[in-house]
Amino acid sequence: MRRGRKNRQENTRKTSAVKPGMPGGRYRPLTQPDEQQVHRTILDVLENIGMGDPIPIVKEQALERGCFINEHGRLCFPRAFVEDSIANAPRNARLFGRDPKHDIDVGDNRVHNYGGGEAVNMLDVGASSYRPSTLDDLYDTARLVDRMDNIHALARLVVPTEIQDQFACDINSAYVSAAGTLKHTQLTFADASHVQPTLEMLYMIAGGKEKFHERPFCNSGGCPVISPLRYGQDNSEVCVESIKFGAPIWVTVAPQAGATAPAALAGAVVQSVAEALAGMLMVHVVDPGTPVVLGPWPFVSDLRTGSFTGGSGEEALVSAAAVQMINYYGLPSSVGAGMTDSKLPDCQAGYEKALAIALAAQAGCNDVSECSGMLGSLMALSLESMVIDNDLLGAVLRTVRGIEVNEETLSYKVMEQVVHGEGHYLRAQQTLDLMRTEYEYPALADRLAPGEWEAAGSPDIRQQAGERVKSILSSHYPEYIDPAIDAKIRERFPILLNPDNMHPGNSRW
């Protein structure tokens, strides 16, 4: 049955050929001796070069546990200490959705896609220039992620740039996330003092503190390292304060090869993983029981200009290698993948995203981050790109699932039957049986015959994506915060999202 464009666009069926958390790990950019050499160098770095500028609580606790300050005044972690911390760290953790169907189990090499971004610009549907992103945009991303099968959780994809006050910015980010999706949400805070009041708002949304902590549907963390190899105060404090969520802490570091990390790719991997471990060690000297999602994100420079290139082959490669190292340690992982340099959802965006996302996923990344909607080396977000990426992620996940090999799937008997029978497999029972389970169908990607495509006006996928974005965002206004609670939240906290924009008829769509 051939389905028309309209049907395809409205199609929101949960596919059964892919699911969150399928194991990766069949791509290994590093050999086993490579892994060990990288690991030994990481231990050397943490033990001898150490980390600058630990915050007082971390320094104090670390020294108590056998770490030391070297002659340069830097906090050093003895290799046995690092190895023990790795061995004792929680290896698996659940990121809860508000609906259990959205729960995510990070750890091992289970692949999920979500997170990241913090872009400060939007590319509007059909536009060819950027504008500053707003709180309404962040709300839209939450509603859209809520409907994307292959984007498994939410993070602050864009910054509400119109909000000057940092506390208002952070708590509003949390508010619109909870208003827009039931998927797990990763939060970001500019200052540790924002954590407690945000938690109090989340308690109200959850129906009480205990309810929230039974299934914490948000987590938090930060980027506690200023590369190379120095702790940053504000984000270190946020990471430590985030332990209060009772959820895994995310720790992301992004040393840039050729600028704040070695230009040699091996060195960039060493430094980024060492810094991510330093983030974990920081959390664990305060509370060894808190799971940490380690995000060594080795970024890459275009050495001709010094600027960050998120879409390069080098970026895809070092990110996959960083995943491999975190899997070598058996710890939960995240890397940035999908950070195209293109400013538009064009062919460059497509191929740069697919290359990085495919390799990160095949390497077995627990959180393939930056994978949905990001453009311009993380400078902008496009909702069109996000729905296109949802299809891309579905295709990548299909490759991650791999090929089941057993007597039935090897199909010897079917082959024999067909060769001596009808001469084709179109009506074979196996073919009919596997239609829904063996094959993943994209929502947008064009598979028409050329004549049909021309008759439809020769659309490119960006046009199709724009229609899908409008269709979802003009209709999907979930009521994920109880109206009575919402009123109380708005009394107590400086919530800036206009309630008029939370209903169909919203003039924005």
Distance of closest approach, residue 40 Cβ to its own copies, in angstroms: 9
Q: Is 233 in the site for its own copies (CB under 8 A)?
A: no
Cα 210 versus chain centre, distance: 27
What is the SS3 assignment for 284? helix
Q: What's the token pair of residue 22?
A: 């399928």
Span of 105-113, 153-161, 378-386, 473-481 interacting with its own copies by CB under 8 A? 378-386
What residues between 396 and 425 interact with its own copies by CB under 8 A? Answer: 396-399, 402-406, 408-412, 414-416, 418-420, 423-425
Span of 95-103, 108-116, 124-132, 173-181 interacting with its own copies by CB under 8 A? 124-132
- Using H for helix, E for strand and C for coil, what is the string for 294-322? EEECCEEEECCCCEECCCCHHHHHHHHHH
The smaller minimum CB distance to its own copies, of residues 87 and 415, is found at: 415
Distance from C-alpha of 354 to C-alpha of 364, rounded to nearest angstrom: 15
Q: Is 54 in the site for its own copies (CB under 8 A)?
A: no
How much is the CA Rg of the chain, to the nearest whole Å?
A: 23
Q: Is 453 in the site for its own copies (CB under 8 A)?
A: yes
The smaller minimum CB distance to its own copies, of residues 149 and 486, is found at: 149
Q: What's the token pair of residue 497?
A: 């999202």
Q: Is 117 in the site for its own copies (CB under 8 A)?
A: no
Vertex 312 angle, CA 310 and 317, to 5°: 100
Q: Is 69 in the site for its own copies (CB under 8 A)?
A: no
Given 56, 450, 504, 505, the residue binding its own copies (CB under 8 A): 450
Nearest in space to 186 (alpha carbons), one of 137, 113, 265: 113
Span of 98-106, 161-169, 374-382, 488-496 interacting with its own copies by CB under 8 A? 374-382
Span of 37-45, 157-165, 202-210, 471-479 interacting with its own copies by CB under 8 A? 37-45
Element holding 192 (H helix, E strand): none
Element holding 134 (H helix, E strand): none
Distance from C-alpha of 63 to C-alpha of 68, rounded to nearest angstrom: 6
Please confirm whether the linkage preceding 228 is cis (ω < 30° from 0): yes
Given 352, 367, 370, 486, the residue binding its own copies (CB under 8 A): 352
Site size toward its own copies, by CB under 8 A: 135
Given 86, 462, 473, 495, the residue binding its own copies (CB under 8 A): 462
The smaller minimum CB distance to its own copies, of residues 27 and 167, is found at: 27
Q: Is 14 in the site for its own copies (CB under 8 A)?
A: no
The smaller minimum CB distance to its own copies, of residues 130 and 250, is found at: 130
Q: Is 328 in the site for its own copies (CB under 8 A)?
A: no
Please confirm whether the linkage preceding 54 is cis (ω < 30° from 0): no
The smaller minimum CB distance to its own copies, of residues 154 and 273, is found at: 273
Element holding 493 (H helix, E strand): none
Q: Is 311 in the site for its own copies (CB under 8 A)?
A: yes
Distance from C-alpha of 12 to C-alpha of 6, rounded to nearest angstrom: 12
Vertex 226 angle, CA 222 and 228, to 5°: 135
